[in-house]
Amino acid sequence: MGGKLSSGNKSALLAVFAAASIAIVAAHPGSALAACAVTAGPNTVTCNSTVTTNTVNTNAASASSTDRTQAFSTGSVSATINAGQTVSGYGLAIAASGGDVNVVNNGALTTNQPASALAVSTSAGSITYSGNGSASNLAGNSPGLTFLASGSITIGTSGTPVTPNFQGSTAIVASASNAINLALNGGSLTTLWPGGGGALLSGDDVSVAWTGNGAIINASGATANRGLDIFGTGALTVSSNATIGGASAATSFQTGILASAFGATGNGDVNVNQTGGTIFATNRGIIASIGPTGSGTVAVNTASTSAITLTDPAAYGIQADTSGTGAVTVQQAGAITGGDIGINAVISNAANSRDITITSSGTIDVASTGINAATAGSGNINITTSGNIQGPFGGGIIANAVDGRITVNVNAGTVLGSAGGFTTPGIGATASGSGGATINLAAGATVAASQFIGITVNGTNNIINNFGTISGDGGVRAFGATTIVNAGTIAAFFEAVRFDNAGSTLEMQGPGATLTGLVVGSGADTIRFSGTGANTFNASQIDTGWGLIDKTGSSNWALTGTSTTTAFVTINGGTLSVNGDMTSTGGFMVNAGGTLGGTGMVSSTIINAGGSLAPGNSIGTMTVSGNLTFTGGSNYVVEVSPATADRTNVTGNATLAGTLRAIGTGGAYTAGTHYTVLNAAGTLGGTFGALTVLGNFGATRPHIEYDANNVYLVLDQALVSPFLVNGTRNQIATAGAVDSAFLGGSSAFSALIGLTSPQLNAALDQLSGEVHASTVGTLANDSLAMRGAILGRLRQASYGGDMDSMGAFSLGGPQTAFAAYAMETALAYGKSPVATKAPMAPARPISDTVFWAQGLGAWGTFSGDGNATGVRRDLAGFITGFDTRVGGAGRLGLAAGYTGTKNLLDGRGSSNVDTAHIAGYGGWRFGNINLRAGGAYAFHKIDTDRMVNIVGLADRLTSRTDGSTGQIFGELGYGVAFGKVAFEPFAGTAWVRVHTDATAELGGPAALNVARRPSKPAMRRSARAPPLSCRWRST
């Protein structure tokens, strides 16, 4: 076990030692220079500078005493050594048998006699010590301070710690039946005797809290015993940042800190915290231990500001052990250097079910074993490291468990095993019972054994997850069923992996997994290639002992080299590219989601439903040594360039089924080209059930042909018209244009090849450029805006002077901007405030010249006709003009205006049109007959924007062009009044001609050159009215 205590009667020995230090020493009395004042009721001892004699004072009311021992049979005692005063000679002893003792030392206690400088005992109470005075046995044959109490002992408090300056054979010796609490700040404890130490404490619960960077000094001239020597039957707690010992053997201690609850019978814990400072030791830096009757936890914690330096090659840095039933925990952040073992954590009780937990973030650099953990019970061992650990003679990390599980997490740093001819692993984990081992290496972490094996595991259901680096003469050796997931590097001079028991798996997980050295199975083990990304593995590294090679995940693993394995190969995901010789294998089976590719040689192969054979790495040839079978639902994937294509040569028979998927790589393909994509030296049976064309075959389209031993792809001239079903006139026309491009050698529209009928119809709609034609149609319709405004103005003027109900036709229409009598009207065809129930006003005279203006707004939808889609249109603008009287019943005028129109075709583009208008008009009235006519011309700026979004072809296409619309229109009306109702039957017509200039779209290959469009003149009825219509108004 190393360092386990066997002195079960240590407390008893300590009590005898303390009593002897307090006892009266038979020697020649000295002479007193002064005296201590002693009083009774209360019992006090107050000392100034005094030289004591080796005598006893039992008079509790001595006015002055130079006796070393002040004995009190009743009551508590308070003793004070005043500041600046020295008690020398035989020192001072306070012996009480009736109560507590309180000592305040602000002076100096010193002796060179075989007695403690200060000895305090009580058989009926507790002891309290405070003050910052000193106590020294300069002869080094007795302690500096000795305390013996039937109750508790308190030396300093957390609020008022003592600054020690104590020396002797052991600086402080304290024994109590109850608790001992030692609170120090800075200062020093000095031993002058090789068998001594800094403090020897024995009690029930024992607590040591040392802050302020104190020191325990070995001034004996030889290796001393222990710096802090603590025994208890309850809870033991040590927190110290003191430096213990020195760098040489003559100034070191055998043990820096020992905390032992060997005689404990309860659940008290042992906690040792090295919060700073350095421990120099020749045997153990820290020992924390609980005996067989204790159930508490052993815990050791060293801070990053602390260090343990071992000055003997056989020394241990930290020993934490229990033979009871509690757990063992070590957290090591301070460096451990020198010696034999860095951390030794042990549970020796077979009935213990608790765990050993070790967390190491500091450096461990020792000669033999960096970390050793062993449990004889059923608990687990958990080790986590992030620092550098070196154990060249015994191993970096060694863990041994029985029925528990061993887990080692190397999160960072390097764990180093063998060197100098020693065959020890970087990590060795043995679970001899039903447990197993899990070893996890994070990215950047390293486990190495330059002259042995990086990792050895022995157990049931072992797991090694490597994202770092494992190296050595051997990489990993595993006894018992083991799974290794290698996502990092395993580099070995001989065997990278050796499995000694069946049921084991080596998983190479991409991306980034590499392996150097042979991989050796036990007879029926599995190699799995998984993960993501592109990866490479040399198949010649696969030695004997493998039953299955399995490919999973989405990765692409390329196998090179020549393999001698007889394992069967399954591909269940991603791609396995064989670029070497795998003909020794027991066969290949490609299942759903998997792909077999490469340019190498494989044994007999079966492609199941959902699986794929894709020879080549881009375009290349694969050889199947044996038979090749495609089952229903399988895929044969070949890439085809203008010059060559993928190919599979089969030395045996080939059975065909499933789908051949041809992928064009692009370029100048030639119709009539034949490619041999499969050759069978034996028989060729069956056919592929379907051909799927993918990629870019330019202006060609492949089909499949067969002969007795070969499968061919033959290129035909590509056309889309034959595959168009129920096409519209626009789709048929566009398909013809695409076919013309194909016949001309263009491959711009190869994305249309292989589309389903609905997909092809939709693609042709996108390519057609329908927005250009639909925009011209809306321009003709937009001519109504100017025409309607002018006719409205003429009608308004025709009836403006009527005083009967016919005057109602003058309401509404354009608003006069200036006239001698401005009409109280608003927008065209809007209801005027004048048109209310009121008596008829006398006719107003019509001004000779009138200026008018009208705002325009329209929105709506033009439905599609099955050939073209519908158009949503928004129009806004204004028109202004003036007219003047001609003769008694006529008017002539001019008008101008602006309109802006946005046209949106669902999924097929949009256009924006800015239009400037000019017009001339005139109207004449002949009694009840009204003749109105005009002509207008419009100038257009047209912008179009459309998207083509087809798989393999995506364009945004824009254009800008000019256009114009000319129109001549007229209307003849006859006004009739019936009481308060006015009627005007009318007939009207318009001649409209739209023209647009040629334009070229900007964008990709789907851009169109749009020819100029002089539309045929169209006759339009005014305001979309029937040939003979009637309007009416009431007053």
Is the pLDDT score of 837 beyond 50?
Answer: no
**Amino acid 820: pLDDT:** 32
> From residue 523, how far is each of 269, 519, 520, 546, 565 by CA, in Å?
50, 12, 9, 5, 11
pLDDT digits (tens, 9 = 90+) for 686-715: 999 999 999 888 888 899 999 999 999 999
What is the DSSP code string of 404-465? Answer: S-EEEEE-SSEEE---TT----SEEEEE-SS--EEEEE-TT-EEEEEEEEEEEEESSSEEEE
Report the alpha-carbon distance of residue 767 to residue 784 in Å, rounded: 31
| Highest-scoring range by mean pLDDT, 23-37, 419-433, 553-567 | 553-567
pLDDT digits (tens, 9 = 90+) for 305-356: 999 999 999 999 999 999 999 999 999 999 999 999 999 999 999 999 999 9
Q: Where residue 647 falls among pLDDT bands split at 50, 70, 90?
A: very high
Q: Are 28 and 63 in contact (CB under 8 A)?
A: no
Is the pLDDT score of 433 beyond 90?
Answer: no
Instruction: State pTM to two decimals.
Output: 0.73
pLDDT digits (tens, 9 = 90+) for 605-615: 999 999 999 99
3-state helix, strand, coil in the chain (%, to 5): 10, 55, 40
Is the pLDDT score of 864 beyond 90?
Answer: no
pLDDT digits (tens, 9 = 90+) for 232-267: 999 999 999 999 999 998 899 999 999 999 876 778
Q: Which phi-psi region, left, alpha or beta, contains residue 235 (left: φ > 0; alpha: ψ -120 to 50)?
A: beta
Q: Are 240 and 268 in contact (CB under 8 A)?
A: no
**Amino acid 821: pLDDT:** 32
**Amino acid 759: pLDDT:** 86
Q: Where residue 418 falls among pLDDT bands split at 50, 70, 90?
A: confident
Is the pLDDT score of 180 beyond 80?
Answer: yes
On the CB side of 386, how many CA atoms lie within 13 Å of its CA? 8
Residues linked to residue 298 through DSSP beta bridges, in sequence order: 270, 328
Cα four-point dihedral sign 666, 669, 672, 677: negative
Average pLDDT value for residue range 741-745: 77
| Nearest residue to 121 via CA among 72, 167, 155, 81 | 72
Q: Is the peptide bond before 143 cis (omega within 30 degrees of 0)?
A: no
Is the pLDDT score of 1025 beyond 70?
Answer: no
pLDDT digits (tens, 9 = 90+) for 512-543: 899 999 999 999 999 999 999 999 999 999 99
Is the pLDDT score of 842 beyond 50?
Answer: no
Q: Is the peptide bond before 42 cis (omega within 30 degrees of 0)?
A: yes
| Highest-scoring range by mean pLDDT, 276-280, 803-807, 852-856 | 276-280
Q: Which two tokens stand for residue 976?
A: 């009739």
Q: Where residue 28 falls among pLDDT bands split at 50, 70, 90?
A: very low
| Nearest residue to 746 via CA among 1004, 948, 1003 | 1004
Q: Which phi-psi region, left, alpha or beta, contains residue 902 (left: φ > 0; alpha: ψ -120 to 50)?
A: beta
- Percentage of the chain beyond pLDDT 70 is 90
Report the alpha-carbon distance of residue 327 to residue 352 in Å, rounded: 8
Q: Which two tokens stand for residue 562?
A: 């020549």
Q: Where residue 816 falls among pLDDT bands split at 50, 70, 90?
A: very low
Question: Which strands form 594-598's sheet, in the order they lie side by side?
Answer: 534-538, 556-560, 574-578, 594-598, 612-615, 635-640, 659-665, 690-696
Tally of residues, the chain: 1035
- Domain annotation for the chain: domains and CATH numbers: 1-181 (no CATH), 568-717 (no CATH), 721-766 (no CATH), 773-1034 (2.40.128.130)
| Nearest residue to 320 via CA among 338, 335, 302 | 302
pLDDT digits (tens, 9 = 90+) for 198-237: 999 999 999 999 999 999 999 998 888 999 999 999 999 9
Which element (helix H / strand E) includes 18?
helix 10-22
* End-to-end Cα, the chain, rounded Å: 121
Return the ∠ at Cα 436 (arms to 432 and 437), rounded to 5°. Answer: 115
Q: Which two tokens stand for residue 690?
A: 């379907």
Q: Which phi-psi region, left, alpha or beta, contains residue 503 (left: φ > 0; alpha: ψ -120 to 50)?
A: left
Average pLDDT value over all residues in the chain? 89
